[in-house]
């Protein structure tokens, strides 16, 4: 069974929850599963069964000990509140009594005749927990049918229950799952993401970097007001959402199945502008960019030099996916062939991503040693190691970090810092060093923190809700190299880099970061690298 783990965003759903993504090693086996036997349920019974399935799964795999009583109380209280009903004062006691009366049976029990099997992560079937199921079902029955409530009680209860664990555990909808599919190495289409629902307006939600839409200068927030096919025939925009999202292609049947999809012409309106814009988009197969440089060349490729005279390169990392280390390896190889003497590795704003992609990215810069360790509550540790095989790491590195550096970015920065491979400049990182497991549960998916990352020196990267500033979490800049920005300056800098990344290579529009002095943290990194290179030159001349 396919299993995966994530650091910040879900990549794929599996029937049973996940560990390490992609072709890498599996950090942890899935929880044990047995068959639950029950008759065909009504809505109230389904609610009770699915909620209790979630409780048992969370109780088994969450990184910290949790109790059934606390989990169920959080879920059922939220359902009462959403229904605008007064939560019973004795709810805690009712759940506690039901839990005590419920005794899991031996998993070897045979099913009663005439009942159907349902897969669930449980050591025993729920027939032995009838008092607890009855208590949950009674609450659901008291509230009445879902259509009269105006919300889905199961989703509301699960959201409250998982959010009570930590900010990163939660419920995933199918829409979020589709957006997560954007992290696949190769995509086909135009590179647009628009809402699936038909509304009064169709506004672009996201533009994939390196896509036809990005090359045409289209941005998130632009509103599509017109759509034509290659013959100029107008199409209704709302009826073409799948086409715009790249899920279906525009093909002419008379040209045969092997013909390339047709281009489309869109008319779009940018907020604050009175004149509509137009663009023709070719259907392409492309790999969304996750590694960026300083500015784009005319062909939309990246230049990575920030100081050509001293051969200092600046490489920025976005979402870390399974293809990121391969792309980065190719870029570093080209820079070394062109004489690179120093590297600024920019992890500011990097949200992390795939565990295996983050591990292999860190490994590009390291010799023999530990990259990170995943620590679980009930399972052995998983230790990720690096080797020194065929690596040219003779150049100095400065890593830029800030509080938007998250997950895999923190793992990379910590590994380079602990192995004295790089100097870190900037601000303390976010503190999201958790590994999560995913599981389908009825109509929704769950993501739950199942482990935490330890850096090579053994200290934790994850910041729990009760962690203090004085506790070890996240990654700190090296002593003497903290470079803090105000919240306003950090937001402005992030916006400028987004503009720089989205601007197509064919555009001559001037942007703030065309003046390199505006990024003061990067300026500090350039100065530090220049001094390091000068010291190296003096040492070699002696």
64-94, pLDDT tens digit by residue? Answer: 999 999 999 999 999 999 999 999 999 999 9
CB atoms within 10 A of CB 520: 12
**Of 22-36, 65-79, 121-135, 213-227, which gets the smallest average pLDDT?**
22-36
Provide mean pLDDT across the span 500-521. Answer: 94
β-sheet bridge partners, residue 444: 441
CB atoms within 10 A of CB 70: 16
Give pLDDT, residue 42: 60
Give pLDDT, residue 108: 42
Alpha helices in 83-187 (DSSP H): 91-101, 130-143, 146-149, 153-163, 174-180
Separation in Å, CA 291 to CA 16, 323, 415: 32, 10, 19
Mean pLDDT of the chain: 83
What is the Cα–Cα distance from 210 to 504, expressed in whole angstroms? Answer: 9
Give pLDDT, residue 412: 97
**Of 184-188, 312-316, 345-349, which gets the smallest average pLDDT?**
184-188
Going by pLDDT thresholds of 50, 70 and 90, the confidence category of residue 253 is: low
Give pLDDT, residue 443: 80
Give pLDDT, residue 320: 93
Share of the chain above pLDDT 70, in %: 82
pLDDT of 8 > 60? The answer is no
What is the Cα–Cα distance from 262 to 240, expressed in whole angstroms? Answer: 14
What is the Cα–Cα distance from 421 to 398, expressed in whole angstroms? Answer: 9
Give pLDDT, residue 252: 60
Q: Is the pTM of this model over 0.95?
A: no
Dihedral in degrees, nearest 10, Cα atoms 481, 482, 487, 490: 20
**How is the chain split into domains, by residue range?**
34-177, 189-286, 291-541
Going by pLDDT thresholds of 50, 70 and 90, the confidence category of residue 124 is: very low
**Of 76-80, 179-183, 270-274, 481-485, which gets the smallest average pLDDT?**
179-183
* Dihedral sign (CA 223, 225, 229, 232): negative
pLDDT tens digit sequence for 163-209: 999 888 999 875 555 455 445 567 888 888 888 766 678 899 889 99
Share of the chain above pLDDT 90, in %: 60
β-sheet bridge partners, residue 384: 372
Separation in Å, CA 408 to CA 9, 288, 348: 11, 18, 12
pLDDT tens digit sequence for 106-117: 444 444 443 333
Separation in Å, CA 62 to CA 27, 78, 120, 125, 155: 15, 21, 16, 21, 19
Q: Tell me the DSSP string of 468-511.
A: -TTS--S-PPPTT-B----HHHHHHHHHHHHHHHHS-TT-----
pLDDT of 126 > 50? The answer is no
Say if residue 257 is exposed, middle or buried (CB neighbours under 10 Å; 0-12, 13-18, 19+): exposed
What is the Cα–Cα distance from 264 to 280, expressed in whole angstroms? Answer: 6
The domain defined by 291-541 folds into: 2-enoyl-CoA Hydratase; Chain A, domain 1 (3.90.226)
pLDDT of 371 > 80? The answer is yes
Q: Which of residues 28 and 234 earns the better pLDDT score?
A: 234
Give pLDDT, residue 318: 94
Q: Which of 434, 438, 383, 382 is nearest to 410 (CA)?
A: 434
For residue 324, give every residue at least 6 positions away whose Cβ sits within 8 Å of its Cβ, in sequence order, or none.
290, 291, 317, 353, 354, 357, 361
Say if residue 389 is exposed, middle or buried (CB neighbours under 10 Å; 0-12, 13-18, 19+): exposed
Chosen CATH of 189-286 out of 2.60.120.10, 2.30.42.10, 3.90.550.10, 2.60.40.10: 2.30.42.10
pLDDT tens digit sequence for 417-475: 999 999 999 999 999 999 988 888 878 889 999 999 999 999 999 998 889 999 999 99
């Amino acid at each position: 069974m396919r299993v995966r783990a994530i650091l910040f965003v879900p990549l794929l759903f599996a029937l049973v929850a996940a560990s390490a993504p992609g072709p890498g090693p599996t950090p942890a086996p899935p929880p044990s599963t047995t068959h639950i036997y029950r008759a065909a349920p009504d809505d109230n019974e389904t609610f009770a069964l699915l909620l209790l399935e979630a409780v048992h799964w969370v109780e088994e795999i969450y990184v910290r000990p949790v109790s059934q009583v606390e989990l169920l109380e959080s879920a059922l209280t939220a359902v009462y509140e959403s229904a605008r009903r007064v939560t019973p004062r004795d709810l805690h006691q009712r759940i506690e009594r039901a839990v005590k009366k419920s005794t899991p049976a031996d998993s070897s029990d045979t099913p009663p005749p005439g009942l159907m099997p349902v897969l669930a992560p449980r050591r025993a079937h729920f027939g032995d927990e009838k008092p607890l199921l009855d208590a949950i079902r009674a609450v659901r029955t008291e509230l009445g049918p879902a259509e009269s409530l105006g919300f889905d009680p199961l989703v509301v209860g699960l959201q409250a229950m998982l959010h009570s664990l930590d900010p990163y555990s939660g419920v995933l909808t199918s829409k979020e799952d589709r957006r997560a599919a954007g992290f696949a190495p190769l995509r086909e289409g135009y590179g647009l993401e628009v809402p699936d629902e038909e509304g009064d307006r169709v506004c672009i939600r996201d533009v994939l970097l390196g896509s036809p839409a990005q090359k045409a200068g289209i941005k998130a927030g632009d509103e599509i007001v017109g759509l034509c096919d290659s013959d100029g025939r107008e199409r209704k925009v709302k009826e073409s959402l799948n086409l715009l999202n790249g899920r279906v292609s525009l093909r002419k049947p008379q040209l045969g199945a092997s013909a390339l999809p047709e281009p489309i012409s869109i008319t779009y309106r940018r907020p604050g502008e009175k004149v509509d814009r137009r663009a023709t988009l070719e259907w392409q197969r492309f790999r969304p960019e996750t590694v960026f440089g300083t500015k784009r060349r005319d062909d939309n490729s990246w230049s990575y030099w920030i100081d050509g005279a001293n051969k200092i390169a600046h490489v920025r990392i976005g979402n870390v996916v399974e293809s990121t280390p391969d792309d980065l390896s190719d870029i570093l190889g080209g820079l070394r062939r062109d004489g690179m003497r120093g590297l600024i590795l920019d992890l500011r704003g990097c949200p992390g991503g795939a565990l295996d992609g983050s591990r292999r990215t860190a490994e590009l810069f390291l010799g023999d040693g530990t990259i990170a360790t995943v620590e679980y509550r009930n399972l052995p540790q998983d230790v990720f190691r690096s080797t020194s095989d065929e690596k040219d790491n003779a150049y100095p590195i400065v890593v830029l970090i800030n509080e938007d550096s998250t997950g895999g970015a923190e793992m990379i920065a910590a590994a380079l810092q602990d192995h004295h491979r790089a100097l870190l400049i900037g601000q303390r990182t976010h503190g999201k060093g958790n590994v999560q497991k995913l599981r389908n549960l009825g109509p929704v998916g769950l993501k739950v923190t199942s482990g935490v990352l330890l850096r090579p020196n053994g200290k934790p990267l994850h910041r729990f809700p009760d962690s203090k500033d004085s506790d070890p979490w996240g990654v700190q800049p090296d002593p003497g190299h903290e470079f803090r920005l105000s919240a306003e300056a950090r937001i402005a800098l992030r916006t400028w880099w987004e503009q720089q990344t989205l601007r197509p290579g064919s555009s001559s529009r001037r942007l703030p970061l065309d003046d390199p002095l505006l990024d003061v943290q990067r300026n500090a990194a350039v100065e530090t690298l220049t001094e390091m290179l000068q010291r190296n030159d003096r040492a070699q001349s002696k």
